[in-house]
Amino acid sequence: MNAKYDVIGVNYAELRKPDRRIARIIESALGLAQTVLNVGAGTGSYEPTNRSVIAVEPSREMIRKRSPTAAEAVQANAENLPFDDNSFDASMAILTIHHWPDKEAGLREMRRVTRGRIVLLTFDPSRRPWLTDYLPELAVLDEAQMPTMSDYERWLGTVQITPVFVPHDCSDGFLYAYWRRPAAYLDSHLRSGSSSFWAISNLEVGLQNLRRDLETGEWERRYAELLALDEYDAGFRLVVAQ
């Protein structure tokens, strides 16, 4: 079973604390569903607490890090969900699809076991947040790992896709969460909460350039408009299939 987070999830529970504003968006998208499947669930981020939830997670280490009060977790892959057809009112997958070896198979499995809505939080690989100016390998990685927005309609049928803006003080340390806190990317501990940094072979040149631009004030001059924003479209998208 492919469980890369047995290794890279070492600081995940500490650094990837759900942001309440993003949580509200996901909760709303789940509608009236009372039984929910969370696929690629990790430590349980964004799982609703007022519904019956079952989590699926391939990494035994991530399951071990789940709170004792979290939903029951089954060790399995998205591509082979151990449930009968139409078992759940809704299903969700939050910032996980890029890790699935066969994304189409995983989403078709979610459709098979779900009577109603499928709610996905994912990333549009056509977007280029400012961090890719310093680390262009991130953009290459996004394009290689992330489905396009048209893929979701091809695999799931009619979908509604809406931007999920990232708050400037987002508590969830995913890849582009620190868009208005650029010095955070110089901290190796904070970077360890994002799988993308584990996948990049050479960070040093880009980080040195970022450090220089922060010290000289060039970053503030270059991205001055960001400092006036409370939230930012970094490319994250909510995909809902009815």
CATH of domain 5-241: 3.40.50.150
Cα 2 to Cα 93: distance, rounded to the nearest angstrom: 17
Q: Is the pLDDT of residue 9 over 60?
A: no
Instruction: Pick the closest to residue 43 from 17, 8, 7 (CA basis).
Output: 17
- H-assigned helices in 123-201: 131-134, 136-145, 149-156, 188-191, 195-199
- Please tell me the predicted confidence (pLDDT) of residue 2: 45
* Residue, of 55 and 1, whose pLDDT is higher: 55
Q: Are 9 and 61 in contact (CB under 8 A)?
A: yes
Map out the domains of the chain as residue ranges.
5-241
Cα 224 to Cα 77: distance, rounded to the nearest angstrom: 43
Q: Indicate the pTM of the whole model.
A: 0.91
Q: Are 168 and 179 in contact (CB under 8 A)?
A: yes
Give mean pLDDT, residues 78-85: 98
Over residues 149-205, the pLDDT tens digits come to 999 999 999 999 999 999 999 999 999 999 999 999 999 999 988 888 878 878 999
CA 140, chain centre distance (Å): 17
Over residues 107-165, the pLDDT tens digits come to 999 999 999 999 999 999 999 999 999 999 999 999 999 999 999 999 999 999 999 99
- Please tell me the predicted confidence (pLDDT) of residue 11: 65
Which residue has 């489905």 as its token pair? Answer: 147
∠ CA 134-96-202, nearest 5°, is 30
Q: Is the pLDDT of residue 5 over 60?
A: no
Give mean pLDDT, residues 198-215: 92
Residue 67 pLDDT class (50, 70, 90 cuts): confident
Cα 85 to Cα 189: distance, rounded to the nearest angstrom: 42
Give the H or E element holding residue 22: helix 20-29
Q: Are 141 and 196 in contact (CB under 8 A)?
A: yes
Q: Is the pLDDT of residue 1 over 80?
A: no
In the chain, % of residues over pLDDT 90: 81
Tokens for 47? Answer: 């799982």
Q: Is the pLDDT of residue 222 over 70?
A: yes
Cα 224 to Cα 220: distance, rounded to the nearest angstrom: 5
Instruction: Pick the closest to residue 1 from 83, 58, 63 (CA basis).
Output: 58
- Please tell me the predicted confidence (pLDDT) of residue 200: 84
- Please tell me the predicted confidence (pLDDT) of residue 53: 98
